[in-house]
Amino acid sequence: MAKTVYVLNGPNLNLLGTREPKTYGRATLKDVEKLCREAARRHDFEVKFEQSNHEGEIVDSIHAAGAGGAVGIVINAGAYTHTSVAIRDAIAAVDVPVIEVHISNVFARESFRHHSHIAPVAKASLCGFGVDGYALAIDGLAALIGARRKD
């Protein structure tokens, strides 16, 4: 059976490439998707890559990952990281390892970005690696669950 990793992106990440490039770089969400698919291929994972500006849709995707037996979720919940108890509770409700990713180093930014509702229910968190953080998160997920690496 295919092992699927869900890569979930929250609000405003559809604007990657043009949104505050000094903070988030010039890579687009399409570039991020490509990066994730390349990383996932190394571990024989399928990728479900999604972006939503709506909190409830992200909650629904987390439930779908749980119901579908996903091997993991890589999530950049954007600003919902700092506000959403609903996304935190959805993660806690499913039996799927979650890796939290942020493109920027949130700890080097405004203090309201220093708190994450997701971190306490995530297996691991990483930030500040730019969009490469997504690939690192997939590699880290594979290491956590002991998946075989192809190269």
Q: C-alpha 17: how far from its chain's center? A: 17
Comparison of 45 and 134: residue with beta carbon closer to ligand DQA: 134
Q: Which of 6, 43, 80, 102 is flagged as catalytic?
A: 102
For residue 78, state whether it binds ligand DQA (rule: CB under 6 A).
yes
Number of residues binding to ligand DQA, judged by CB under 6 A: 10
Q: Which of 91, 106, 126, 138 binds ligand DQA (CB under 6 A)?
A: 106
Active site residue 24: yes
Comparison of 24 and 147: residue with beta carbon closer to ligand DQA: 24
For 115, the token pair is 């708190």
Binding to ligand DQA, residues 107-136 (CB under 6 A): 113
Phi, psi of 10 (to 5 degrees): -90, -160
Q: How far is the CB of 12 from ligand DQA (least distance, A)?
A: 5
DSSP 58-125: HHHHHHHHHHTT-SEEEEE-GGGGGT-HHHHHHHHHS-S-EEEEESS-GGGS-GGGS--SSGGGSSEE
For 75, the token pair is 């999530």
Comparison of 54 and 149: residue with beta carbon closer to ligand DQA: 54
The rounded distance, in Å, linking the Cα atoms of 54 and 141 is: 25
Q: Which of 104, 117, 137, 141 binds ligand DQA (CB under 6 A)?
A: 104
Q: Please name the helix (run of DSSP H) or strand (run of DSSP E) that holds residue 7, with its range, or none.
A: strand 3-9
* Residues involved in catalysis: 24, 102
Residues that bind ligand DQA (CB under 6 A): 12, 76, 78-79, 81, 102-104, 106, 113
